[in-house]
Structure 1
Amino acid sequence: MNKPLKIVFAGTPEFAALHLQALIDSEHQVIAVYSQPDRPAGRGKKLQASAVKLLAVEHDIPVFQPQSLKTAESQLALAKLDADIMVVVAYGLILPTAILNTPKLGCLNVHGSLLPKWRGAAPIQRSLWAGDKETGVTIMQMDEGLDTGAMLLKQSLVITQEDTSATLYQKLAEIGPKALLETLATLVEIQPQIQDDKLASYAKKLSKEEAKIDWNLTAEQLERNIRAFNPWPVAFFPLNDSNIKVYSSVVVKSENPNIPAGVIVKSDKQGILVATGNNCLLITKLQLPGKKPMLAADVLNGRADWFVIGNSLI
């Protein structure tokens, strides 16, 4: 095992905080934390600290929240910390070359995919969206590119048919900290693996526009979209001047492929069956405006007139 390291940690959301907690509980010393500036949140738009900052404050760890790491002032502040290594998990700021080269052992990143697949901002969601059979975390040595650094360790897990972005997030949050600690413990012995750019794919950010259901897509793709966009931005379709959010669905083989996409084929306690570009999609859980997400059977008890067989959702 390597000697205990003096670590600067950079991260922002709860996913990152779980990794910070693992470092705090380890033999290593977290000497400082970097996190995004406090942001307005909630109805009152009061400034709210990130999960990482709150955890750092709880453990009396100095917190830095620069707007940018490109300034000479920010770079000097990091250099003064004299860190052995910087660990970056979902931080949200670009690290310029000067920052990458400041810690003695450079900067490590925990990325939520099996690189070089799904570089970028939304790897967890895109793995579901694409129908991947597995995902995982990659610990990599950061360089100037976007998730292009040499890989130090990978941990994989199977994606199940029931997984949503929320459940995958939780699973990766369990294996990520363990993989990070294993990497730090064997850092000297690890032979970095250069990524093959030919195998790379880009996980672009999700958008609310993308979450709108296009009934001309296949039922298989729509079912994956619904899981990928849960819990945000949540797949939806417009109906009666409202947006109906969809939380779960099942692909059903079409008995009549001539029914136009978007037409309601069946509406009963099993769910709301809608024709798509190929096969049908059975909506089993949805949310009406001002209501909580409910099973389709419960929605139909009060709004059966919204989902009449033969009506089109386009």
Structure 2
Amino acid sequence: METLIPIGIITAILFSLTVILLIADKFLVSYGDCKVSVSDEEGDREFTVQGGSTLLSILIDQGMEIPASCAGRGSCGFCKLNVKSGGGDILPTEEMFITKEEQKTGTRLACQVKVKDDIELFVPDLINTVKGMAESDSFDTRTKWTFEREGQLLVEEDKKTTRLDRKQRNQVLDIVDKHRDNPGPILPILHDVNTTFKYLPEGVLRLVSKEMDMPLSKIFRIATFYNLFSLDPVGKYKITVCTGTACHVRGAEGIIEAFEPELGIKCGETTEDMMFTLEEVRCIGCCGL
């Protein structure tokens, strides 16, 4: 009982401070109307909002699809976009997810940027960020946050690397027909494709896009959002290391550094004999400090 009293007092104090800060932020701090200028795959648009909310919540309210598996808590790092002006300085909560190179180009986490003034940003269309897809037969997920502002071109299909044989095409069509009439069919389709082919080949995704009458860029967004899926051929055994906040604190980087020389590959690569793939994820649901 004596132990619970101090805990209760501390909890009450923290709760009171939180309430006071929320009230102060709502009634004492006014950022006024802020203009948000957005460039994305649909063109340029502008809208005016009441300042004080996060960029993520504002964009979602405007009907834009911004991935955020952590519900805006800043622990997944998926809601990256490019802030051209008005975003303020990068926060410590963002630094774990944004490299020095990305910082120089204005990459930010939408959930951590509070709109306090006019802001200009670029939301990438994933199909335009996959440089080199036409030159190789794989899609490098490590380039998915590389922003290109000038001379953006849709990647043309290289039929030599995306052609499916009759058996493969029939397998894909059977999967599509299985889920076509179900609510939210894309995720189950990609899941079955990933199970069948052990990864998501570009040619298969293009066929799914055509059969479901859905933009290829949207298919790629879904495919790269979930760590379950791979756009590269993977090894028979996948070694997955969590590098989320809690696991990073407990030394996850040391695990990766131990595996890399043992396997002779870098994180994100597969051994030549296609036996092992080493990858990192932000969460595997077993976090603990």
- TM-score category by the smaller chain? under 0.3
Relative to its length, the structure with more helix (as a share) is: 2
TM-score by length of 1: 0.23
More strand by share: 1
User: What is the TM-score when the length of structure 2 is the normalising length?
Assistant: 0.24
